[in-house]
Amino acid sequence: MKKLILISLIIFQAIALTAQETARVELKHFNSEESKDFPFEREIMIYTPMEYDSSTASDYDVVYVFDSQWRSHFDFVCALLESEQDENVNMLPFIVVGVLSPTRYELEYHRNNDFLPVPVHDQPTSPFYGNAVNFKKFLKETVIPYVDENYRTSGHTLAIGHSLAASFILDALATDEMFDDYIAMSPNFAFDEQYFAKSLLNYDYANGKPHYFFLSMANECEETGWGKPWRESWDMVKNHINSTEYPDYISFTIKEFPEYSHMKGYLPGLMGSLNDWVQYRHTERLSTTEYYPVHIELTGENIGGDVYITGNQDGLANWNPEGVKMTEVNENTRSIDLELRLPAEFKFTCGSWETEITPTNAYPGNLRIGKADKVVKKYEI
């Protein structure tokens, strides 16, 4: 009998594991014909979190991780975000996109070509530079649209880069406003008479767009062979940011890790920034001044009684649990049409927090509408 019970438990566990949704990583290969101005074949990795397939009404922020040809760069981000998820059950998970660059110097093209523009002042010390403009165009016109069209994205992005990739993503802000938030570890600010430093400091932060910035430096200095301009450029940026008053919607965090080398500074940089960024993203913040027409439905067998929606703005009763009453379409459907600022965050109740309604096709926690082209939401219970 004990053996039978044990065998039954093993079978039950195996079935449970088989049925459980797991995070997965998919590979997308772009051939040279898919981007006419970037005639190189390139791959990206796309991580989707647990319950992505069943949470069909949920949209996800996208984290773009550069230099993911070093797989640990990508895996560290996925693992740390999963760890953050374990600590905060109300936190929405993320899609992570690993952007790969070539690394072999014996090839005619190298990662530095992706990240560096043609220098105007400095004499190049390496043949690998000069294609950053086309790489940014490839990202903006090919990679990001592919992710948005094939995955349920919220419209909010974070870029993570280290070394020249860190310099590149900050330049992508200044030239294209390509991402919303930025984690830049050990950026090279000395290149071409401080080109990257100047582009970051001269960006118009008064344009009303919320941004999170994390900048870090490891032990790069003259004593460790990095040359005087590297540290001088970093100190210039650090001192300027620390002495400047930015709008409330701009968040700058600067840290140094002198006990870590250039390459080893990546992990403490991530650990020092991702938790901070997650908290920033889950602080209610309306990023649009415009109002968008929103249609929301809730369906389920025999809902019965009144259903209310409440959330993060006046049009959603500012989290009053007896918020805005939804229209009873029939006994199985409630709906509402509203004019809301984005991102709109909300929940359903029957009039009190003790009667909160949790949809089965969305990730637990605050429900969210973040993009103007995704303002129709249908939830199930």
Print pLDDT tens along the chain (381 aa). 334 333 333 333 333 333 447 889 999 999 877 777 777 889 999 999 998 999 999 999 999 999 999 999 999 999 999 988 777 766 789 999 999 998 776 568 889 999 999 888 877 767 778 899 999 999 999 999 999 999 999 999 999 999 999 999 999 999 999 999 999 999 999 999 999 999 999 999 998 888 999 999 999 988 888 989 999 999 999 999 999 999 988 999 999 999 999 999 999 999 999 999 988 887 766 777 899 999 999 999 888 889 999 999 999 999 999 999 999 999 999 999 999 999 999 999 999 999 999 999 999 888 999 889 999 999 999
CA 243 – CA 238 distance, rounded (Å): 9
The reported pLDDT for the residue numbered 107 is 67
Question: Which residues of 83-242 form beta strands (DSSP E)?
Answer: 94-99, 153-162, 181-185, 211-217
Q: From residue 58, how far is each of 323, 365, 371 by CA, in Å?
A: 22, 11, 12
Hey, what CATH topology would domain 22-281 get? Answer: Rossmann fold (3.40.50)
Q: What is the 3-state secondary structure (H, E, C) of 244-313?
A: CCCCCCEEEEEEECCCCCCCCCHHHHHHHHHHHHHHHHCCCCCCCCCCEEEEEEEECCCCCCCCEEEECC
Structural fold of domain 292-380? Immunoglobulin-like (2.60.40)
**pLDDT value of position 357:** 94
Distance, CA of 80 to CA of 49 (rounded, Å) = 12
Instruction: Give the H/E segment covering residue 8.
Output: helix 2-19
Give the neighbor-by-neighbor strand order of the sheet with 308-311. Answer: 324-325, 308-311, 344-349, 367-369
Six token digits for residue 59: 């949209």
What crossing angle do the helices spanning 164-176 and 191-201 adopt, rounded to 10°?
A: 50
Q: What distance in Å separates the CA atoms of residue 115 and residue 34, rounded to the nearest whole number?
A: 20
pTM: 0.90
Domain boundaries, the chain: 22-281, 292-380
pLDDT of 84 reads: 84
